[in-house]
Amino acid sequence: MQSTRRFITGFLISSCLVLAALIGFRLAAQPVRDWSRLRGFTPSPQVAKLGTDTTMTDKATRLFYINHPEVLGREAFNSACPDRGERTIVLGCYHSPQNGIFIFDVSEPELAGVQQVTAAHEMLHMAYDRLSSDERARVDTLLLDYYHNQLKDERILKVIESYKTSEPNALTNEMHSIFGTEVANLPAELETYYQQYFTKRANVVAFAAQYQQAFTRREDTIAAYDAQLATLEAQITANQAALSQQAEALRVDRPRVEASNDQETIDGYNQRVTAYNVLINKTNILVDQYNQIVEARNKIASEETQLQKSLDSTVSPE
């Protein structure tokens, strides 16, 4: 019985040694693969600037460059990123594991900053891939706790909701990239976590706010126009109802007034006609104001649509 125990014990020890050796090999292999990916790679000036603009740390820059990031025009981007699963305002894709980061070349001046946020967003997907199981579990807990208890930004909440449908299995992965690049104030533990990737994360968030402002400014203007239009429409409708009633009353009374020799009756009728015409003029002025605001509103809405097209690589420019 003793020999059997010794044999089993010896076998377990040997197995553990083999397992340890395999784990050690895998741990050693990753730096070798990284070295192989980085060997001879020189980022384009545009790509290098994205890393600098977003204050990527050396660790983050390494993760970014391992993927040989490229900024691509419409056709090349669509070829590199055929999967349209990720449809947020950040246009880019990351091919896991470390098989490429591609960024859509958005040239619209008002959307300056979108490429920086895209670069940081996709780099964080790579970073998430590299987390150990224990660290990922810890980070996921922090992300979900913030999402459920502290996140108030309606736009980001809507984005997360869309991912629940489009990519339910990658929800915390997407939170990891979105929160890190688009939320200004995070809980202290998350802020500390992201410090390994950005020396000044606020710069990335500022880029996100910068291009988002191009939309929110127009949306706010459109909302203000809609409020004015609603008020004018109510007034015009009320005026038109009053005019209809007055016109009918004048029509009914006209034969009687025309047959009357009473000057007071005639003067009273004429005063009513004058008031009717004044109300017509006021209503016409309101209608002109309404139409002018509609024209201005549609112009802003058209601008917003064009900005959206600038961010959509599947839409050909006009």
| Phi, psi of 224, rounded to the nearest 5 degrees | -65, -40
Checking if the pLDDT of 23 tops 60, the result is no
Distance of CA 253 to the CA centre of its chain: 63
Checking if the pLDDT of 279 tops 70, the result is yes
Checking if the pLDDT of 46 tops 50, the result is yes
Collect all residues with Cβ–Cβ distance below 8 Å to 247 and sequence separation of at least 6: 276
Residue 86's pLDDT is what?
Answer: 46
Least confident of 162-176, 189-203, 241-255: 162-176
pLDDT in tens, 49-98: 999 999 999 999 999 999 999 999 999 998 998 865 544 444 899 998 88
Mean pLDDT for the chain overall: 88
CB-count exposure of residue 49 (10 Å: 0-12, 13-18, 19+)? middle
Checking if the pLDDT of 17 tops 60, the result is no
Rounded average pLDDT over 122-127: 96
pLDDT in tens, 231-264: 999 999 999 999 999 999 999 999 999 999 999 9
